[in-house]
Structure formats: C-alpha cells, structure tokens
Amino acid sequence: NRPKRCPFTRRRRTLAMDKVIVIDAKGHLFGRLASIVSKQLLQGQHVVVVRTEGICMSGGMVRRRMAHDRYKNKRMNTNPKKGPYHYTSPSRIFWKTVRGMLPHKTVRGAAAFERFKAYEGIPAPYDKVKRAVVPEALKVLRLGEGHRFCVLGDFCEQIGWKHGAIVKELEAKRQTAASEYWAQKKEANSKFAAAKAAANAQLGDLQQLIEATGY
C-alpha cells in the first residue's frame, strides 16, 4: 500500500514557460530589477537581461566605491582562492546579485537560476528579438529627482573591468546595422502601402458586389 501524504503539506508546482523574455536593462535600478527578475525566475519564466552595463545604482560613485572596498575585504581567512569571488564585469555582478535572491542550493532554486542569463551589450541571438522594459524598476520613475546615481558600466571600469571600450564599439556597430535595417523596412512598408492603394484604386468600388454576396 502507498503511504498517505500528510494533508498539511503540499507540493510546490512551477509552471513551465517556454517563452523567453529579453529585458533591456539600460536605465533600470539595480536592486529593483534584480528582485523582479528573481521572482519571475521562481515562477518558471526564462529571462535574459542584456545591456547590463547601462544599469543604474542609487548613490554616487564615491559611496559605491567605499561599499565595494568593504566588500573586497570579505574572503576566506585560510584559503582566499576558495571564495567569495569578487567579479568586475557588469553582467557577472548582476548575475551574482540575482543568485543571492534565489535559494540556489535547493532543487527549485537551482532550476530557476538555470533559466537566467545576463550579458553586456546585446549579443547576436537577441539583437533581433523584441526587448522589454520593467516600469517598476525604471530610474526615471523610481528614483527621486535630484538623487545621485551612478552607472554600473562606469563603476566596473573603475574597479578593474577592461572590456568597456570593446562593448561600446560592438554596440555602435549593432546600432548602425539596426538603423540601416529599419530604414529599409520603412521603405519596403511604404512601397507595399502604395501598391495596395493602387490595386484598390484599379478595383474600384466593390461595395455593391459585397452586399450582393450577402456580407
């Protein structure tokens, strides 16, 4: 006989969501975006965060540097190479923050963390995908007027990140290609609209024929 399950306990079920949400992180507040992303991951959503170098952090650069200097002193006393590890790239810093908001040592948390990716810039698979923003985490909506803030990419360059110039160069190339594609698409749409209007003009008024057929 199968043992009965305790009626006071219930299994947690996570809905599997195949759709991947790509978030453009530029202009978002660091902690608010990380908390919203972690909540979505636990609910079964696949999330990709791009342009992490454009994330904003509340507080000026001096205050952020002082907090990071205190953070760098946290290490294992007997063998520092066992951790904790202090990352310098924007995507890795955001990745570690999201990991801290997940129970990543449990099965549920590890499965949620596998559904998350973060990148600097917008790499090739996601540059042709529609990107979303999170209004609850936008700096212009959540940070008070006049409050100091700093950009994560600038902060990382001060603490040792050496690839900021490369990311800016690749982003400039991507934006140029996107502008050319959008210009070609607008031209094609205008030609299609003109051809459609010309075809409708040749057909004339079809209202009588439509009414005769019963529509």
Alpha-carbon span 70 to 129, nearest angstrom: 39
- Which structure tokens are listed for 202? 């040749």
For the entire predicted model, the pTM comes to: 0.82
Q: Which residue has the tokens 């760098």?
A: 72
Q: Which residue has the tokens 């890795």?
A: 92
C-alpha torsion sign, points 147, 152, 157, 160 = positive
Q: Region 135-162: what's the mean pLDDT?
A: 94
- Which structure tokens are listed for 4? 């009965």
> What is the total residue count of the chain?
215
pLDDT score for 2: 52
Select the more confidently predicted residue: 211 or 161. Answer: 161
142 in Cβ contact with 136 (< 8 Å): yes
| Residues whose CB is less than 8 angstroms from the CB of residue 119 and which lie 6 or more positions away in sequence, other chains included | 48, 49, 50, 51, 52, 91, 126
Q: Which of 45, 27, 207 is nearest to 112 (CA)?
A: 45
Q: Region 89-100: what's the mean pLDDT?
A: 97
132 in Cβ contact with 23 (< 8 Å): yes
Q: How many helical (H) and strand (E) elements, i.e. helices and strands, does the chain have?
A: 8, 5
Q: Region 19-34: what's the mean pLDDT?
A: 95
